Homo-oligomer: A and B are copies of this chain.
Amino acid sequence: MNIGAASKASGVSAKMIRYYESIGLLAKAARRENSYRDFDERDIHDLRFIKRARTLGFSVEEITRLLGLWRDAQRPSREVKQITGAHIADLETRIAEMQGMVAALKHLSAHCHGDDRPACPILQDLGGPEISSASPQDKRKRAAGLREAAL
């Protein structure tokens, strides 16, 4: 199976397949005499796994662990659940942050005429003196995950 075929079969772009291989997320594909990569069913499975996990917002780092667990038939489901739980919490934190932004923005926007007049509470707020930001944005380490996947 060529990389193009693997790409179609998995929904992962050829570009990303090579990338995943390069960072060790995906096992190094076999090579034909032409030096073309040759993917088997196992690779396709892994690619689909990765694709699906990315769709669910897991970071590549998390997927590495999940794939490792997948391959270990003996793994305790505890670990999988733990990773998933942490990811859910992460997503929820980010959702809450964004909801805070939306609320603040909607509030400002509601008081902005949005016509030819220059008066605008949105800019007033942005430019104004110390403003009590909704939450001071904790900067805990957080996988890039979805953010880029959504680009």
On whether the beta carbons of A150 and B91 are closer than 8 Å, the reply is no
On whether the beta carbons of B77 and A119 are closer than 8 Å, the reply is yes
A49 vs chain B, min Cβ distance (A) = 5
Known A70-B127, A82-B114, A150-B139: A101·B91 in contact at CB below 8 Å: yes
A64-114 interface with B by 8 A CB criterion: 66, 69-70, 73-78, 80-82, 84-85, 87-88, 91-92, 94-95, 97-99, 101-102, 104-106, 108-109, 112-114
- Select the residue from A82, A98, A141 with max chain B CB neighbours within 10 A: A98
A109's partner among B81, B120, B125 (CB-CB below 8 A) is: B81
A24 at the B interface (CB under 8 A): no
What total of chain A residues lie within 8 Å of the partner, measured CB to CB? 66
Give every chain B residue within 8 A of A81 (Cβ-Cβ).
109, 112-114, 120, 122
Query: How many chain copies?
Result: 2
A74 to B, closest residue via Cβ = B118
Could you list which residues of chain A lie within 8 angstroms of chain B, going by C-beta atoms? Answer: 45, 48-49, 52-53, 55-57, 66, 69-70, 73-78, 80-82, 84-85, 87-88, 91-92, 94-95, 97-99, 101-102, 104-106, 108-109, 112-120, 122-123, 125-127, 131, 133-134, 137, 139, 141-142, 144, 146-151
